[in-house]
Amino acid sequence: DAGITQSPRHKVTETGTPVTLRCHQTENHRYMYWYRQDPGHGLRLIHYSYGVKDTDKGEVSDGYSVSRSKTEDFLLTLESATSSQTSVYFCAISGTGLAGGDTQYFGPGTRLTVL
Amino acid sequence: DQQVKQNSPSLSVQEGRISILNCDYTNSMFDYFLWYKKYPAEGPTFLISISSIKDKNEDGRFTVFLNKSAKHLSLHIVPSQPGDSAVYFCAASGGTYKYIFGTGTRLKVLA
């Protein structure tokens, strides 16, 4: 199994509060991703990173920001949590990030509930 | 606009029989496809992949077929086992390091 951990694994918070989720990898992979999983929507990309300090938006990035100051850590921040951000969040990593041979490996997930 | 579609939300199969999970895509630029398996409360785990230069890839009980003209791929599991019960996601990528996932199919293998 790829060395990916996520913290916290579960969190309950209130609307309007800031929340930061952490993804940590020990694989020295260049690419890191944040997804959310919701019923009927599958896995949707929020943000991704292609190197330290290099990030870009995915398909559902509104209300989220990310930071990557070290190769091994990728942080996802909800500046002001809303109930629509209640979801399960997955971090993923890949090596080359190139289509045609690369595979993404996923962390165990963080279940976030916004009341 | 759902570029990767899994039109069957669920599928039930008897143990020992074949499970066939389907996935359709709309973007002709996609050239690499993956299948993931997901158990409850766990992250998705990589199962098998296929490049667009091939039309079949096999790994033990799992075979993925790709029909580029129809923009369709399928995952065959033979024989199906109760431990295969999970949600299966297909994903596609095309020349970038981003992957588009389908909505998933829940497979239930009946003992």
Indicate if the pLDDT at residue B96 is higher than 80: no
pLDDT at B95: 72
Structure confidence at residue A114 as a pLDDT band (50, 70, 90): very high
Q: How do residues A62-75 score in pLDDT, each as one tens digit?
A: 999 999 999 999 99
pLDDT at A101: 55
Indicate if the pLDDT at residue A100 is higher than 50: no
Nearest by CB to A48, from B89, B98, B104: name it: B98
Q: How do residues A7-28 score in pLDDT, each as one tens digit?
A: 999 999 999 999 999 999 998 8
Chain A residues with CB within 8 Å of chain B CB: 4, 31, 35, 40-45, 48, 50, 58, 90, 94, 96-109
What is the DSSP code string of B21-56? EEEEE--TT--EEEEEEE-TTS--EEEEEEETT-SE
Indicate if the pLDDT at residue B73 is higher than 70: yes
Structure confidence at residue A1 as a pLDDT band (50, 70, 90): low
Q: How near does any CA of chain A get to the CA of B86, in Å? A: 14
Please count the residue pairs, one from chain A and one from chain B, whose beta carbons lie less than 8 angstroms apart.
61
Output the six-digit token pair for A102: 């690369």
Q: Which residues of A fall within a CB distance of 8 Å from B6?
A: 42
